[in-house]
Amino acid sequence: MERIEPELLLTSVPPRTVALGVVATIVGGIAVPLSLPAVCFAVGLAFGHQSLSGPFTVLLAVSGGVALAALIGVTLSLGRELAALRSPRLRRYRTLLYATGFAALVIAWFLLASDAVGWDRLASWLPVVPITWIADLGLLGLTRAEPIGPRPVGAICLFGVSLPLCTVAAIRLADRVWHTDPVGSGTIHRSRSLLGPGRARWLFGGRVSRPVLTVARKRWLQERRVPRGLLTAGYMLLVLPIVYLPLLAAGEILAATPMLLAFVLAVGTGLAFGIELLSVEYPALPLTLTAASSRQFVRGTVLAGTAVGAPVTVAITAVAGVGSPLGPLEAILTALASVPLCLCGVTVAAAIGMDASYRDFRPVPIPFVDTTVYSETGRRSFLKLAVVMTLVGLVCLPALTGYLSPVNEPLATGLGVSIPTVRLLSLVGTVALAIAVSAVSYRRAVRAFEEYTIP
């Protein structure tokens, strides 16, 4: 869709011709590679079932399914483009919508792989899904001496109704997309001066110095415009099985679940705001190195990440704690302990993110959108993600082990104290370790900023 150059084509042909040409191109791109396997499959089934009508029904189902899929894809793509043209806010947050959809697909895959949703229940829904009607249509010619069921007839009706409707919808949407100017925004969507008044100034103005707050506000503005940090934090979806698989196995929220969630969210906060603190400044990195001191830059980065990640982490951890076997006081203290964990995640990620050479930054396209940013590439970037996860995991290890029944019960018996006391002691150990690691990481990040040079 992006390479058809409508400005050139529409000067010689009407939009209907262009839209139909796009559909024909997509159908041809799918049908040509599938034609030979489909014909061989149809002929093989016909010989196996000794049916002359088998190849015709199989080819009818394949060709109709490919055409319908192409039309639906083109219609949805044009509808998305039109919505983006009509809504500046949707155009701005389109990346977030894609990331949310990708996260939902990953979670659905994990649920299926862990048998949380039984395959038997999933199979019971298949008869009402239209795609299975198309499969029944393809097999219709291979079933001899059997009456025609409602699903093959439903597939034929689906083709007869959906193909014309999708064609008309695609033509009309293409005409509107190619002849509609983008709607400008009448408001500035809260994008104000980094030095002027605003919500951040009201919240932190009397507690944080102006240069530190300016660095934080700039980082928030960068993330609002291009949410690359959110996409980087999406790697934590690969770690989510350590949270929900024990829940599925036990059938209830465990005592360690709030701490596991705090770990995942703390690492995600660090990856979102700390690991890319230099690459987001790449276009103006020389100015950043001279305009802000090392302490101001690192403190502003830490403030930006903690102010966003800590409230979310506390809220989610508190909700999980309410449904867990923890008492009210334990749940509250566990939720509050997630704040230093978020601080630790951001400072550790900032210290590791400072270890990046200016020459290592390369233009990298952001997934799902036509936006290019500068970032590290290759194994080094993924090794940094692994190091952040490992270090924050080691910080959380005392609390995670203390919240496990096979660990806290023998300790409580041996020390002569209650199990909640063992949990609180392990939590205190994790908080103390998080503060110590944060202090060390902060000093290292400050020193790395002071020593950073641009060749």
Whether the per-residue pLDDT at 407 is higher than 80: the answer is yes
pLDDT above 70 (res 99): no
Distances (CA, A) of 367 to 122, 423, 444: 31, 42, 32
What percent of the chain is predicted at pLDDT more than 70?
79
pTM strictly above 0.75: no
Does residue 337 carry a pLDDT above 70? yes
How many CB atoms lie under 10 A from the CB of residue 421? 14
- Asked if 42 contacts 52 with a C-beta cutoff of 8 angstroms, the reply is no
Neighbours of 345 (CB within 10 A): 38
- Tell me the pLDDT of the chain averaged across its residues: 80
Measured CA to CA, the distance from residue 392 to residue 344 in angstroms comes to: 7
Beta bridge partners of 362: 375
Map the chain to HEC letters.
Answer: CCCCCHHHHCCCCCHHHHHHHHHHHHHHHHHHHHHHHHHHHHHHHHHHHCCCCHHHHHHHHHHHHHHHHHHHHHHHHHHHHHHHHHCHHHHHCHHHHHHHHHHHHHHHHHHHHCCCCCHHHHHHHHHHCHHHHHHHHHCHHHCCCCCCCHHHHHHHHHHHHHHHHHHHHHHHHHHHHHCCCCCCCCCCCCCCCCCCCCHHHHHHCCCCCHHHHHHHHHHHHHHHHCCHHHHHHHHHHHCCHHHHHHHHHHCCCCCCHHHHHHHHHHHHHHHHHCCCCCHHHHHHHHHHHHHCCHHHHHHHHHHHHHHHHHHHHHHHHHHHHHCCCCCHHHHHHHHHHHHHHHHHHHHHHHHHHCCCCHHHEEEEECCCCCCEEEEECCHHHHHHHHHHHHHHHHHHHHHHHHCCHHHHHHHHHHHCCCHHHHHHHHHHHHHHHHHHHHHHHHHHHHHHHHHCCCC
Confidence of residue 187 (pLDDT cuts 50, 70, 90): very low
The confidence score (pLDDT) of residue 188 equals: 45
In this predicted structure, what is the pLDDT of residue 398?
Answer: 92
Residues 229-240 have pLDDT tens digits of 877 787 776 777
Q: Is pLDDT above 50 for 427? A: yes
Instruction: Identify the pLDDT of residue 143.
Output: 59
Query: 108-126 pLDDT, tens per residue?
Result: 766 665 555 556 666 666 6
Quote the Cα angle for 417-421-423, to 5°: 130
**Contacts for 432 with CB less than 8 Å, ≥ 6 apart:** none
Task: Specify which of 142-151, 371-380, 407-416, 426-435 reaches the highest per-range mean pLDDT.
Answer: 426-435
**Higher per-residue confidence, 274 vs 85:** 274
| In the block, residue with structure tokens 């959380």 | 396
- Report pLDDT digits (tens) over 278-320: 888 888 888 888 888 899 999 999 999 999 999 999 999 998 8
Token code pair at residue 356? 């990046």
The average pLDDT across 445-455 equals: 88
Reported as a pLDDT band with limits 50, 70 and 90, residue 221 is: confident
Least confident of 126-135, 276-285, 443-452: 126-135
Q: What residues are paired with 365 via a beta bridge?
A: 372
Q: Which tokens go with 232? A: 């980087």
Residue 36: pLDDT over 80: yes
The residue with greater pLDDT, 47 or 147, is 47
Rounded to whole angstroms, the Cα distance separating 70 from 66 reads 6
Question: How far is the C-alpha of 375 from the C-alpha of 455, rounded, in Å?
Answer: 17
Q: Which of these, 67, 82, 63, lies nearest to 167 by C-alpha position?
A: 67
Interacting residues of 365 by C-beta distance below 8 A, sequence separation 6+: 371, 372
Torsion angle defined by CA atoms of residues 172, 175, 181 and 182, in that order, rounded to the nearest 10 degrees? 50
97 C-beta neighbours (distance < 10 Å), count: 12
What's the pLDDT tens digit per position in 43-62?
A: 787 777 777 777 788 888 88
Report the candidate in 372, 303, 378, 381 with the shortest Cα–Cα distance to residue 342. 303
State the pLDDT confidence band at 374, using cuts at 50, 70 and 90.
confident
**What pLDDT is stored for residue 435 in this prediction?**
95
Q: How far apart (Å, rounded) are the C-alpha atoms in residues 143 and 137?
A: 10
For the chain, give the longest Cα–Cα distance: 88
